[in-house]
Homo-oligomer: A and B are copies of this chain.
Amino acid sequence: MTRWPLPEPMRHALDLARSAAASGEVPIGAVIVKDGEVIAGGHNSPREDHDPTAHAEIAAIREAARKLGGERLEGCELWVTLEPCAMCAGAIAHARIARLYYAAPDPKGGAVEHGAKVFEHEQCLHKPEIYSGMGEAEAAELLRSFFRDRR
């Protein structure tokens, strides 16, 4: 049996999540893709950076916007290993991300299909296309083993 390979951006995001774990941060990774190429990436780093906003998505969005020289990432995709929280979903809307791909759902902190459901309100000025599930098992296992090791 051949298991269908994960798309390259999600593999890249999973690699970034592993880097986060290696430096003691919750293993979540994200990349921004434009025209089929990864143009920015980041992982969770609030502890190391002394920055409560330093989630993977925020790091990737900030880097991509800096590179593209504007405040909007129109036509860009964001690939992330976990369902975004309210902060990151809001940032995705502000950045006008065209497509959001996330691997694992996050019933405890997610705000896309759970809780605040940020994209479902008229106060949210942009809603990306949303795809989930690719890489879910890998992403969830990274988080489980991180928290298991910390107990």
Chain A residues proximal to chain B, CB less than 8 Å: 46-47, 49-54, 58, 61-62, 65-66, 68-73, 85-91, 93-96, 106-111, 114-118, 121-125
Contact = CB atoms under 8 A, between A and B. Distances in A.
- Central interface residue in A61, A85, A89, A123, by most chain B CB within 10 Å: A123
Contact of A123 (B93, B94, B96, B114): B114
A119 B51 CA distance: 20
Given A46-B71, A115-B123, A123-B111, A65 B90 contact: no
Contacts of A61: 52-53
B111 A90 contact: yes
Contacts of A108: 123
- Central interface residue in A49, A71, A110, A121, by most chain B CB within 10 Å: A71
A70 B52 CA distance: 8
B124 A46 contact: no
A88 B47 CA distance: 19
A71 to B, nearest CB: 4
Contact of A65 (B52, B62, B65): B52
Contact of A89 (B86, B88, B106, B107): B86
Contacts of A124: 86, 115-116
